[in-house]
Structure 1
């Protein structure tokens, strides 16, 4: 099975950046981060006519966590900078009786 090394995130915004949404790229997953970086400029150029305020970013994927990522968090700052990261939510299960507070 091939591993994923990078994810291409594209975000299109209104002119004043008050409303933004994710845009599906032609290719979203890459086996090498460098391949994602090389694809990014052409992808932005090809989609710019339909998305005048388009931002893109390649996010590195840790192969050890590839199946554990469950959140993609992004924000477009007022200066037009796209910030994004993949996150893993760690859920902790506590076994006990209902209403019982676990000891620390």
Structure 2
């Protein structure tokens, strides 16, 4: 007979993560409340969003306790997609600047 051993994590770990998620949400709202504008505002909001998503994936989806192969299988493809999106954004910016340079009066 095989015995299934469920891995139990201390409740304090989850409570700390909930607290950190709450704190990051407060910081995200404070960015808007303080009145930051432009690139700084959106950079901070995106940073807090990515930190919250990373905490959720790491703890609540148990990626912290998984093997490296599973972590790579889950996290590497979105990372590659983000990298390719950045390359496309750079190319689009270059194309727009060249069109504005050569086709404007």
TM-score higher than 0.5: no
- The structure with the largest alpha-carbon Rg is 2
Structure 1 or 2: more helix by fraction: 2
Q: Which has the higher contact order (CA 8 A, sep 6+)?
A: 1
Structure 1 or 2: more strand by fraction: 1
* TM-score (norm. length: structure 1): 0.26
